[in-house]
Amino acid sequence: MEIKASQVKELRDMTGVAMMECKKALVECSGDIEKALDLLRSNSALKAEKKAARVAADGVLRAHVGDDYSTLIEINSETDFAAKDENFIKFADDVQKFISENKLIDIADIQASEVEDKRKALVQTIGENIQLRRLETIEYSSEMNTSSYVHSDSKLGSIVVISGGNETLAKDIAMHVAAFNPLCLSETDIDPEILEREKAIYMVQAEESGKPQEIMEKMIEGKLKRFLSEVSLLSQNFVKDPEVTIQNLLDSNNAKIESYTRLKVGEGIEVETKNFADEVAEQLK
């Protein structure tokens, strides 16, 4: 039967799927819009499952700051090109709206919501693996000052909650957290395993120096002290004024950091690198 262009356009407007895919679905369903819609939805789930094994290490972050909770979520794509697609951006905006209306503690909560259907449809539209990888939610009381910072490329972000001070101070510290990536709040909060790993490295370096034992111990102690000051948020020099530490900044504003979190798109994901010739050969197969 003849499929009208208006039918194809209607189905595309409903799904965001490519025109040819819409036309094929309409042909298969004898022009029935509802059946074609169901067919495309089932196909999107199938395609999403097939692409799920592909590495999605690019994408964007979205943040929401509310009265009693804030959420930072990572939305992944395979390429930066896809992350700039208008359909991906609209999906990311829909995710942001969802986290602003729902307090989520676990990424599985959003993966089990209506957002999942939109994700599968987006996989079909864009042709890449799209994933909601992880989220961080901080809860707090209404009298605390909270702010988020998301870098201009939307790939690096943070949330900071402080008591005392004001929202501007929280925003400045959130920017600092994003830029300096502290491993802990104070030097006493450092993960013992991280500290032992660093100490082992410094011990090897000291032994290679050939210095006397007492000198080596001082070398190790000095390097550990410097390391702790560099990775502890309160000891770090403020990004906007290196002459003061974050602790100095808080003291001058009668403020205290209650909680913070930071995410970077693709962090911790191993990406296999291929040269151009290998990629072409793989596609030809």
Longest CA span, the chain:
91
Q: What is the pLDDT of residue 14?
A: 72
CATH 1.10.286 residue ranges for the chain? 192-229
Q: What is the pTM of this model?
A: 0.75
In this structure, are strands 241-245 and 131-139 parallel, antiparallel, or unpaired?
unpaired
Nearby residues of 165 by Cβ (< 8 Å), 6 or more positions away: 145, 250, 253, 254, 255
Check whether domain 5-51 has CATH 1.10.8.10, yes or no: yes
Contact 132, 117 (CB under 8 A): no
Q: What is the pLDDT of residue 55?
A: 63
Taking the CA atoms of 168, 174, 178 and 184 in sequence, report the sign of the dihedral they define. Answer: positive
Q: What is the pLDDT of residue 151?
A: 96
> Which stretches of the chain score pLDDT less than 70?
1, 15-18, 40-55, 271-285
Q: What is the pLDDT of residue 45?
A: 44
Tokens of 35: 């059946």
Q: What is the pLDDT of residue 103?
A: 96
Q: What is the pLDDT of residue 49?
A: 45
Q: What is the CA radius of gyration of the chain?
A: 25
Q: What is the pLDDT of residue 278?
A: 60
CATH 1.10.8.10 residue ranges for the chain? 5-51
Q: What is the pLDDT of residue 137?
A: 98
CA dist 98 to 82, 95, 115, 117, 153, Å? 21, 5, 8, 13, 21
Check whether domain 192-229 has CATH 3.40.1800, yes or no: no
Contact 123, 146 (CB under 8 A): no
Nearby residues of 267 by Cβ (< 8 Å), 6 or more positions away: none
Q: Could you give the CA distance from residue 75 to residue 272 in angstroms, rounded to a whole number?
A: 20
What does residue 40 show for φ and ψ, rounded to 5 degrees? Answer: -65, -35
Q: What is the pLDDT of residue 41?
A: 64
| pLDDT per residue as tens digits for the range 15-65 | 666 677 788 888 888 888 888 877 766 665 444 444 455 667 899 999 999
CATH (one of 1.10.3720.10, 3.30.450.20, 3.30.930.10, 3.30.479.20) for 52-139: 3.30.479.20
CATH 3.30.479.20 residue ranges for the chain? 52-139
